[in-house]
Amino acid sequence: MTAPVDELDPVRAELLRAARAAAEATLDHARTGAADTLLAARTAAETVLAQARRLGEADGAEEADRERVRAAQEAWETELVVRAEVYAALRAEVRRGVRRALAREGVAARSHLADVARAALGPEAEITASAQGGVTAETPGRRVDLSADALADGALDRLGVRAETLWGPP
């Protein structure tokens, strides 16, 4: 006895073959799409990573620039403080030197400075000896200070920008 032949078997077989072919095509399409998506994701990741590196380098460069500026400012501030200290020490030493010189010369120096003050203010100037050496002189509305400290300060002030040579290279 032979099994009855079903006339739909060829149709079923064709449908099964077509379904398998469609499934295989869908699977191939999905594999291709997945590969394309993975490639696009890797490319995007590399782009983002490269951009992040550039931004990191730029941020690092900016931070380095800020640090260089800060260091230069600190160095300049330190130099200005040291210059002020050197100038103050120089001023104190010059004042001591002028006081010693006026003390050595005694009355002769005081008399000469009094004559200079009278020449500047006139014979009616009131001359007063300064405690540190030298003299001051006054007339109504006018005053001349020829004290040791004023003479020393004036000498240093006349140096002007040449005082910069004190801390410059020899």
Per-domain residue ranges for the chain?
14-166
pLDDT at 168: 66
Count other Cβ atoms within 10 Å, centred on residue 130. Answer: 19
**pLDDT band at residue 30 using 50, 70 and 90 as cut-offs:** confident
Q: What is the pLDDT of residue 135?
A: 95
pLDDT(3) > 90? no
Query: What's 6's DSSP letter?
Result: P
Find the range with the poorest average confidence among 16-20, 40-44, 148-152, 154-158: 16-20
pLDDT at 12 over 90: no
Q: What are phi and psi of 3, to 5 degrees?
A: -75, 145
Rounded CA separation 151/149 (Å)? 5
Lowest mean pLDDT across 52-56, 66-70, 144-148: 52-56
Mean pLDDT for 126-139 is 94
So what's the pLDDT on residue 27? 75
Q: What's the token pair of residue 115? A: 């004559």
Instruction: Report pTM.
Output: 0.58
